[in-house]
Amino acid sequence: MKKKLIQNTSEHFEKLFQKKPEHIFLSPGRINIIGEHVDYNDGFVLPAAINKYICFAISKNENSECALVAKDLNEVYQFDLKDTLQPIDKMWVNYILGVLQQLKEKGLKLNGFTIVFSSTIPMGAGLSSSAALECGIAYAMNNMFDLNLSKEEIALIGQKAEHTFAGVNCGIMDQFASVFGKKNKVIKLDCTTLAYEYHKANFKEYQLVLFDSCVKHTHLTSGYNDRRNEVEQGLAIIKATYPEVTSFRNCTEKMVLSLKDKLGEIIFNRCLFVVHEIERVELAVKALSEGNIEQLGNLMTKTHYGLSELYEVSCPEMDFLVQETNNFSAIIGARMMGGGFGGCTINLVKKDNVNAVIEKMTQAYKTKYNIELKSYKIKIAKGTTEYAI
Ligand code: GAF
C-alpha cells in the first residue's frame, strides 16, 4: 500500500509537470494507546506512528513561486514565498502555510517548490492527518533547504502551525508521534519536558484494530479549545487552594474531590478525568512492559468512560462502538481515540478472532446507524522520513 501510494503520487507529479519529482517524503498518521487530552495538561502520552501516510512528491525551483497540488482533493494552490503568508479558507492549505510562515519568521532561507501530495490517512478520523501534513512539510523543507532543524523543532513547528493557522490549540502529541515514530515501538512522551522513551509494542496474542465511526469530528476545533479553557480555569482554582500544585501532574484526586463545590460540576469532572488519566498512563506503561495486556485493555476501556462521561468528548456512535465490544470476549480493551467528537475507536482484539469480530461489529453498526463501519488493522511504523528514489 505504501509502494502504491508513492508510485501514484510520483506519477501524478510527472503527469502534471513532465518531469520526475526530485524528492519523496512520507509522513505517518498516529494512534494513541492511552493518555488522551493530557498532552496539554502536563501529562504523559503513549502514541505511535502508523502505516498510513501522506506522501509528498517535490521538486524545488530557483525562484520563490510555489505550487501545492492536493491530488486526492483535486485542488491546487499557488503562492509566492515573498508574500506574507496568512490563513485562507482552505484548511489543508493552512497547515502548509502555517509551517512555511514560521520558517520565514525564523529567517530561514527557502526557495520555491512544487508539491504533489496524496494520503492513505483517512481525514477527520482522529488519526492526525493534519499533523502528518504539517510535519511532512517541515521535514521536507528541512532536508531540501538544509535548514538544520532538529526533529523536536519540526514537531513544535507543526504544533504551532495548528495553533496559528488552523485555530486548534492542540498539544504536542500528534506531531511528536508523527516525527519520532519507530517501527513496533510506542513512545512514552513526557509532554512537559518532551523527554521520551520507546517501549516495545508487544501486545502478545492481541492486535490493534481501529473502528472508524465515519463521524467526522467537525466540533473538534470549538470543543477542543473549550476543554482547554475549562481545565485551565480548573487548575487556577486548584492552585489557589493548594499552592504546592504546579500542574495536573502533582495534583491528586483528593485535592480535586475537596474542591468539588468551588470547581462546579463541569470543571470538576474535567479535572477529575485529567488526574485519573495521568495516573492511568503510568499503570498502562507498567502493564505493557510486564506483558499484562488484559490490564492494559482494562485501562483503555476506563479511559473511554472518562472521556465520555467526565470529559465529554465522545459521541453516541463511538460510545456505541465501545459498548458493543462487551459482546465479544475477544476484545479486551476499547476506547475512543484522539481529540474526539467523532473519529476512530482503538481496540485490542485477539488475533485469531479479528476477522470475525470486524464482521460482527460492522453488522451491528450498520443495524444501529445505517453506516458502513470502516476498520483498520494498523501496524506501528517509522516516523516522517525521506524515501530514497
Ligand atoms: C488532538 C490533539 F491534536 C492532541 O494534541 C491531543 O490533545 C489529542 O487531541 C487528545 O489527546 O489529537
- Whether 108 and 153 map to the same domain: the answer is yes
- Whether 232 and 183 map to the same domain: the answer is no
Secondary structure of the chain as H, E, C letters: CHHHHHHHHHHHHHHHHCCCCCEEEEEEEEEECCCCCCHHHCCEECEEEEEEEEEEEEEECCCCEEEEEECCCCEEEEEECCCCCCCCCCHHHHHHHHHHHHHHHCCCCCCCEEEEEEECCCCCCCCCHHHHHHHHHHHHHHHHCCCCCCHHHHHHHHHHHHHHHHCCCCCCHHHHHHHHCECCEEEEEECCCCCEEEEECCCCCEEEEEEECCCCCCCHHHHHHHHHHHHHHHHHHHHHHCCCCCCHHHCCHHHHHHCHHHHCHHHHHHHHHHHHHHHHHHHHHHHHHCCCHHHHHHHHHHHHHHHHHHCCCCCHHHHHHHHHHHHCCCEEEEEECCCCCCCEEEEEEEHHHHHHHHHHHHHHHHHHHCCCCEEECCCECCCCEEECC
Residue of 32, 37, 44 with the most ligand 1 atoms within 8 Å of its CB, for mutation: 37
Ligand 1, closest atom to CA 32? Answer: 11
Give per-residue pLDDT as tens, 263-311.
Answer: 999 999 999 999 999 999 999 999 999 999 999 999 999 999 999 999 9
Residue of 173, 230, 313 with the most ligand 1 atoms within 8 Å of its CB, for mutation: 173
Ligand 1, closest atom to CA 130? Answer: 3
- Whether 84 and 175 map to the same domain: the answer is yes
CATH number, position 82:
3.30.230.10
Per-residue confidence (pLDDT) for residue 46, from 0 to 100:
98
- Whether 322 and 344 map to the same domain: the answer is yes
Per-residue confidence (pLDDT) for residue 219, from 0 to 100:
63
> Residue 255 sits in which domain range?
206-377
Which of 72, 83, 146, 174 is labelled catalytic? 174
CATH number, position 369:
3.30.70.890
- Whether 293 and 187 map to the same domain: the answer is no
- Whether 181 and 217 map to the same domain: the answer is no
Q: Is 173 in the pocket of ligand 1 (CB under 6 A)?
A: yes
- Whether 242 and 288 map to the same domain: the answer is yes
Q: Is 339 in the pocket of ligand 1 (CB under 6 A)?
A: yes
- Whether 120 and 269 map to the same domain: the answer is no
- Whether 38 and 181 map to the same domain: the answer is yes
Q: Is 338 in the pocket of ligand 1 (CB under 6 A)?
A: yes
**CA 79 to ligand 1 center in whole angstroms:** 30
Q: Is 342 in the pocket of ligand 1 (CB under 6 A)?
A: no
- With a cut of 50, which residues of the chain have pLDDT below it? none
**CA 163 to ligand 1 center in whole angstroms:** 12
Ligand 1, closest atom to CA 339? Answer: 9
- Whether 98 and 169 map to the same domain: the answer is yes
Per-residue confidence (pLDDT) for residue 1, from 0 to 100:
86
**CA 174 to ligand 1 center in whole angstroms:** 6
Q: Pick the residue whose CA is nearest to atom 9 on ligand 1.
A: 339
- Whether 160 and 240 map to the same domain: the answer is no
Ligand 1, closest atom to CA 40? Answer: 7
Q: Pick the residue whose CA is nearest to atom 1 on ligand 1.
A: 339
- Whether 184 and 236 map to the same domain: the answer is no
- Give how many domains the chain has, as a whole number: 2
Q: Is 39 assigned a catalytic role?
A: no
